[in-house]
Amino acid sequence: MGEAAIKDMSFEDALSELESIVARLERGDAPLEESIDIYERGAKLKKHCESKLKDAQLKVDKIVLGADGSVSTEPLDKDG
């Protein structure tokens, strides 16, 4: 799986793979070169997960509670 594949992964899939990478690195059962490769992939997966969480937070931040108690959303404005 390359970077393009990470970009298309769901948060849950990326987190699951990241957890398996962390477990493998903690066990120390991978040769050095492979450890470096999977660490680099883990760093990319972490960045992807953080981006997904930030996008979700922005969407939640745009939920508006009306004076009458009704809930609505405002369009997501990523620029500010």
Q: Residue 45: count other Cβ atoms within 10 Å of its Cβ.
A: 24
- pLDDT tens column, 20-38: 999 999 999 899 999 999 9
Sequence spans of domains, the chain? 3-73
Q: Residue 76 has what pLDDT? A: 60
pTM value is: 0.72
| Confidence tier at 80 by pLDDT (50, 70, 90) | very low
Inter-residue contact 40 to 50 (CB < 8 Å): no
Cα(77)–Cα(80) distance, rounded to whole angstroms? 6
